[in-house]
């Protein structure tokens, strides 16, 4: 049975109320947090390097896990996820965070079961308790996004294409479309929004973040969106719109 629609969420500053990468590193070590802004390195690689240093300095996996229970999430965003799920929507996360952070935070808030897909950078714990994070798209296999707004390690538009294809199945060849909504805040959340084909689709753009600024500066990019744009400041704005 086809879902009522596909609801895609970015994670940092979208589903949750912070940047999980920065939040965790700052919780673990203010000195390492400072290095995030000083080192010239691809972001995912930098996260992995900071966690490596934390482990080498005697940092425990328990502290990393503890930090993930402190990440803030708006109760109205949790209500939004439950409401969409109850209405038969398929929920997915498309994020530049990592699988361990996302899985752990969703489990903490009791909503992991609401999401059918999590597309993000893979992460794992090794036998010594060190957390490793790798790029979703390896450095030697460029994803080839032509827009120039996606991160090197993930083209969110291409990943949403895969999610839509999986849900439409063979009917997609006949021009079928899927009702969609997308919640995002960053410039790399523009590419996936182009996958929404209907004027009744909802594109939730967080106010004051880089995505809103990108659309303000690029009228052609904004005009290319067939979906309805809903600017939001808090999760209550999304919940009210969906209700």
CA dist list (Å): 50 to 29, 38, 47: 9, 12, 5
- List, as residue ranges, the binding site: 10, 12, 21, 96, 185
Sign of the CA dihedral with 43 first, then 49, 52, and 54 last: negative
Q: Are 77 and 235 in contact (CB under 8 A)?
A: yes
Mean pLDDT in residue range 177-195: 95
Place of tokens 């798209």: 137
**What CATH code would you report for 5-17+73-121+142-242?**
3.40.50.1000
High-pLDDT (> 90) share of the chain, %: 83
Residue that wins the pLDDT comparison between 175 and 222: 222
Annotated binding site for substrate: 21, 96
Q: Which is catalytic among the residues 10, 19, 90, 201? A: 10
Higher-pLDDT residue of 168, 54? 54
Residue 39 — pLDDT band, cuts 50, 70, 90? confident
Higher pLDDT, 169 or 138: 138
Q: In this predicted model, what pLDDT tens digit does every residue of 136-160 receive, in sequence order? A: 999 888 888 888 889 889 999 999 9
Structure tokens at 104: 């752990």
12 flagged as catalytic: yes
pLDDT over 90 at 177, yes or no: no
Is residue 171 over pLDDT 70? Answer: no
Q: Is the pLDDT of residue 34 over 80?
A: yes
Contact between 149 and 211 under an 8 Å Cβ cutoff? The reply is no
Output the pLDDT for position 175: 54
Per-residue model confidence (pLDDT) at position 170:
67
pLDDT, residue 2, reads 76
Tens of pLDDT, residue by residue over 94-137, are 999 999 999 999 999 999 999 999 999 999 999 999 999 999 99
Q: Please tell me the predicted confidence (pLDDT) of residue 1.
A: 67
Active site residue 74: no
Residue 179 near residue 188, CB atoms below 8 Å: no
Whole-angstrom Cα distance, residue 146 to residue 154?
13
**pLDDT grade, residue 61 (50/70/90)?**
very high
Number of C-beta neighbours around residue 139 at 10 A = 11
The residue behind tokens 């934390």 is 54
CA distance 105 to 65: 9
Query: Which has the higher per-residue pLDDT, 146 or 225?
Result: 225
Binding residues for Mg(2+): 10, 12, 185
Backbone angles phi, psi at 76, to 5 degrees: -70, -25
pLDDT, the chain, mean: 94
């Amino acid at each position: 049975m086809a879902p009522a629609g596909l609801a895609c969420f970015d994670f940092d500053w979208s589903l949750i109320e912070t940047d999980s990468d920065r939040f965790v590193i700052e919780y673990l070590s203010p000195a390492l947090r400072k290095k995030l802004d000083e080192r010239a390195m691809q972001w995912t690689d930098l996260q992995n390097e900071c966690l490596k240093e934390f482990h080498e300095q005697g940092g425990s996996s328990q502290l990393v896990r503890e930090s993930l229970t402190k990440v803030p999430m708006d109760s109205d965003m949790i209500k939004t996820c439950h409401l969409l799920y109850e209405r038969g929507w398929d929920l997915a996360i498309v994020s530049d965070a990592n699988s361990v952070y996302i899985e752990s935070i969703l489990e903490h808030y009791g909503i992991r079961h609401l999401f059918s897909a999590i597309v993000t950078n893979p992460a794992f714990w090794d036998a010594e308790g060190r957390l490793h994070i790798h790029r979703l798209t390896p450095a030697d296999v460029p994803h080839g996004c032509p827009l120039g707004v996606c991160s090197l390690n993930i083209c969110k538009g291409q990943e949403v294409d895969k999610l839509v294809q999986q849900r439409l199945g063979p009917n997609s060849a006949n021009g079928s479309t899927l009702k969609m909504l997308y919640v995002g805040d960053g410039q790399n959340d523009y590419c996936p929004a182009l996958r929404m084909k209907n004027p009744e689709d909802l594109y939730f753009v967080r106010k004051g973040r880089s995505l809103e600024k990108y659309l303000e500066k690029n009228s052609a990019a904004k005009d290319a969106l067939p979906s309805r744009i809903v600017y939001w400041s808090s999760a209550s704005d999304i919940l009210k719109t969906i209700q």
